[in-house]
Structure 1
Amino acid sequence: MKHAFIPCTRILASALFLSVLAPSSVAQTTAADVDKLGKELTPVGAERAANKDGSIPAWNGGIVKPLADFDPNKGYANPFASEKPLVTITAANMEQYKDKLAPGQMELLKRYPSFQMKIYPSQRTAALPQNIYDVVKAEAPKIKLAEGGNGILNMERSTVPFPVPKTGLEVQWNHQARYFGGVWTRYSAEFPVQTNGSFTPVTRVETFAAPWALDKIEPNRLYYYFARLTGPSNVAGDAMLVHEPLDQVNEPRMAWLYNPGTRRVLRAPEFAYDSPGQGADGLRTIDDNLGFNGAPDRYEWKLVGKKEMYISYNNFKLSDRSLKYKDMVQSNHLNPELVRYELHRVWVVEATLKPDVRHIYAKRVFYIDEDSWSVAHIDQYDGRGELWRVREAHLMSFYDQPMTWAIADVLYDLQARRYLVSGMTNEEKPMVFGEKLTLNTFSTSALRRQGN
């Protein structure tokens, strides 16, 4: 199988060396590593200093409180509304910026002449609550990868288990465990966009909880997740429930589905890996959700290193609740006037399918923001080694929490010439954070009741 060459500048030599080691041979976070947190490194392990030419500024704490005019019913006020693009990258000039672009970005620019990347000044807005920083530093020395790297051991409340990562699996688990605000309910829309730009929203209500945010704490839990489809009418009422384990070697994911037609709750052991995602018209796998989720055991994970890259960031304009989906969605891609790109440092992790297992993606290359541990961009390849699906996470700082998350996810299918937009909230009710939920909220009986 041939694979496309992935350019990566400013690679960390130590990361290249350590990436060849098996997970079991790599020590957990050392005392020397921990001592760097909050000093030359941010509290979650990013480089605190600016880059050499200052185009990426130093991290000075991010945005940790709401702006004075913040109103969740209107969306997140844009603290950078007066800024103008430094440059607009198109197919015509992308070659001069290719060292800061992913192959998937360049392919989108080449394939769709109307696709543009407007580059703005870099703003390192990512932040988490201070108590989360404290937990990350306290727990880091004792956390380890489970057997084969297929989970996390000894983690209680940390959201960055490996703040100084030494392997691709450690970076990947930092992404999966990253801070989501504890508890939230999101009212969102997802829709496949056809080649002519038409779409039909699939709407859902999602509830997420970290185990430490509930009234009771079960062992070996990473998070709980519930989702119910509310439209269109042919899928309304379908619901799912997930209990995600920390150690997926000893306890695989537990998932249940509810069908309102049969009024039955059924275990769904196939709800993982490359099974089709709900409401996505075949454009998303289960493990595509959130960039990547679930057991990583079907891939070999290589830490390529770190590079400076243009990624979609501080997308406050996309959160504007006065926008209508028809104004945001265009044929082939989102409206480029609404998307903001900035230069940031990202971890580059390459996942290659093991020879004895199957998955529709033969290779996946992840570009993960160092400040938030969120996947910012993914290039996914088919079995022929051809670039197939390109995913962009349009990140934004939810400064009322604080946390950084995608205000919208877009997955471009280059072969089908369609794309999937997920997590849109502009025409839905505002997200709700900090609800007081119980463990019973995520029981199968609750799934049956809420599915009705």
Structure 2
Amino acid sequence: MKMGIAGFRRTIAAGGFGLLALVALSLPGEAGVKPGDFITPDNAAQVKDLVSPGVFYKVQRGMTMKIVPTSRIDWPPPYKDATEKYSSQVQLSKDHRTVVGYVAGQPFPLIDANDPYVATKVVWNALWRPISNDDYDLRYYDCDTVYTGRNKPFFEIAYGQLGHYAGYDLVGRTEVEPMPVDPDFKNTNRLWLFLLGPELAPQDARGTSLLRYRYASPTHGDDTWAWEPGTRRLRRLNEAINSTATGAQTWDPDHYSGFNPKTEQYDYKFVGEKEMLATVDAEHSPEVRCATDGGGSACPERWQMRHMYIVSAEPRRSVNNAEAIDSKTVIYMDSEMWFEPYIDTYDRRGELFRNHIYWLAYRDRPVPDAKIAIYPFKREFVVGACSTDVQSGEATMCYLPGIETPERECWYINMGAVDRAFFTTEAMVKMSETGHM
């Protein structure tokens, strides 16, 4: 596969909508923007059809865009090798909801728009994305909560700082032993482990942490615990909490890293594929607080035309997420990096509710002056993330690495920075109580 999995996938995409999208890509004048354009609220109409409704809302209220040429995003070589080695044995289960035969790499590298189950395959590809597939530890990052608006001065409603945003995958490992599957998977059936915390600011929430386990069994919902220092009590949380905004204001656990609820609990519809704008090669790290929308985004930043798969996800009310507050999530999936540059959610009345934007950088280190987190190849790093309640105007913008945090390098991906022992309730409580990072 000399041309690479991503390039081969593009060549076999079928369907009239896909062909029209490719024609649009070859005719930049038809797209409404060209490299060198600078988008502001005054000319926002140029990008209305090139972003999601939620992103357009942000541009109308002050978020600016620098349009740059499209660049190629390659997968990490170990992930690409695993895809070529294992993907031919992967298929959907008989009910078309779960994956059978997966080991490592991308499960479905050949995406066909005419496949009746293409939407489900796109979402499973996002679960085992190339951005990180062994472990990751984001150390020290901060978030501002503001009310957004065009030319609105920055006024912080709330400030949050966290010590870790960390994860460990038991399946699909390609860079750190044990590979490709942690032996513990056979005993526990856990796909991945996640820890958020301890919260370092504000002071009244200091020590708060969240621990979450995802299981391979389609009928086993996520296990989630929270440690609350005020009560000094470990709480087992109802699974519905993962789709509800938490202490991070507009953020909820199911959208901390794109669309992240349990895959089998949703029904998926393929909306189509289209050339749209996204930030996949950000100029700034740390990101820059937007001065023209009250600090509700990162701007100005580089946006480029990308080939996107668009999928609608609706919760299956008959299962554990019956209390989900979103009636529908529209996922915009980049076809090369396999991460969602943005997502829109809709409330139970069918109205636009929340928008989530992720700004990603493509480089061999998270920050230019890194001394430890340096890689032998380029990879994607999320350097900014924003969740906006479009019905109230409240937004929480997170900076990764943080603006006011002691850790400069921030992202440690597939470096063995955390192991399974890091993701236990005992370890979480100890770290939250002692403040030891």
AA paired with 2:397? V
Map Cα deviations across residues 227-247 of structure 1 (whole Å, 9 max, x no partner).
2112111111111222222x2
2:310 matched residue in structure 1? 348
* Matching residue's letter, 2:65: M
CA distance in 2, matches of 1:391, 1:436: 27
Aligned to 1:377: 342
* Alpha-carbon shift at residue 183 of structure 1 (Å): 2.5
Number of residue-to-residue matches in the alignment: 377
1:175 aligns to what SS in structure 2?
Answer: helix
TM-superposition CA deviations, 1:297-329 (whole Å, max 9, x none): 453211122110111231132x148x6x5x668
Stretches of structure 2 lacking an aligned partner (at least 5 in a row):
14-20, 29-33, 366-374
2:355 matches 1:390: yes
CA displacement at 1:97 relative to structure 2: 4.5
Distance (Å, rounded) in 2 between the aligned partners of 1:439 and 1:391 = 29
Q: Which residue of 2 aligns with 1:87?
A: 37
* Alignment partners' CA distance in 2, 1:133 and 1:218: 25
Task: Give runs of aligned pairs for residues 26-65 of structure 1, distance below 5 A.
Answer: 38-39=2-3, 41-42=5-6, 45-46=9-10, 54=26
Distance 2:184 2:326 in 1: 33
CA deviation after TM superposition for structure 1 residue 151, in Å = 4.2
Deviations 1:12-60 (A, max 9, x none): xxxxxxxxxxxxxxxxxxxxxxxxx55374279455999556579xxxx
Which residue, 83, 86, 89 being the options, matches 1:142? 89
Match of 1:154 among 85, 101, 105: 101
Q: Offset at 1:363?
A: 1.8
Is 1:208 paired with 2:154? no
Q: How does 1:110-125 map to 2 (within 5 A)?
A: 110=60, 112=61, 114-124=62-72
1:239 and 2:204 aligned: no
Aligned match of 2:368: none
Note if contact 2:154-2:294 (Cα within 8 Å) is conserved in structure 1. yes
Distance 1:180-1:241 versus aligned 2 partners, 3 A rule? farther
Q: CA deviation at 1:330?
A: 4.2
CA offset digits 1:341-383 (Å, max 9, x no partner): 1001011111234465442211221111111110012122222
- 1:50-95 per-residue CA deviation (whole Å, 9 max, x = no partner) reads 9556579xxxxxxxxxxxxxxxxxxxxxxxxxxx952123444444
Tell me, in whole angstroms, the C-alpha distance in 1 between the residues paired with 2:12 and 2:37: 25
Q: Is 2:154 the partner of 1:197? A: yes
Q: Secondary structure at the match of 1:291?
A: coil
Q: CA deviation at 1:146?
A: 4.9
> Hey, what's the Cα distance between the residues in 1 that align with 2:220 and 2:130?
22
Residue 174 of structure 1 pairs with residue 125 of structure 2: yes
Letter aligned with residue 211 of structure 2: L
AA in 1 matched with 2:251: R
Q: CA RMSD in A?
A: 3.1
Structure 1 pair 261–382 and aligned structure 2 pair: CA distance change class (3 A): closer
| Residue aligned with 2:124, SS | helix
The residue aligned with 1:61 is none
CA offset at residue 403 of structure 1? Answer: 2.3
Aligned residue number for residue 299 of structure 2: 336
- Aligned-pair identity in percent equals 22
Contact 1:146–1:249, Cα closer than 8 Å, also in 2: no
Deviations along 1:94-152, one digit per CA (max 9) or x if unpaired, are 44554423222333334x2x33332111112x233322111112221222335755543
Tell me which residue corresponds to 1:409: 385
TM-aligned CA distance change 1:403 to 1:235, over 3 Å: same
| Matched residue SS, 1:416 | coil
How far apart, in 2, do the equivalents of 1:392 and 1:438 lie? 29
Secondary structure at the aligned position of 1:222 is classed as: strand
Residues 214 and 438 of structure 1 are in contact (CA less than 8 Å); yes or no, is this contact kept in structure 2? no
C-alpha distance in structure 1 between counterparts of 2:94 and 2:256, whole Å: 24
Matched, 1:257 2:257: no
Q: Taking structure 2 as the reference length, what is the TM-score of the superposition?
A: 0.76
Q: Cα 1:257–1:271, aligned 2, differ >3 Å: closer, same or farther?
A: farther
Aligned residue for 2:16? none
Q: Please identify, of 290-299 and 266-275, the stretch whose mean Cα deviation from structure 2 is larger.
A: 266-275
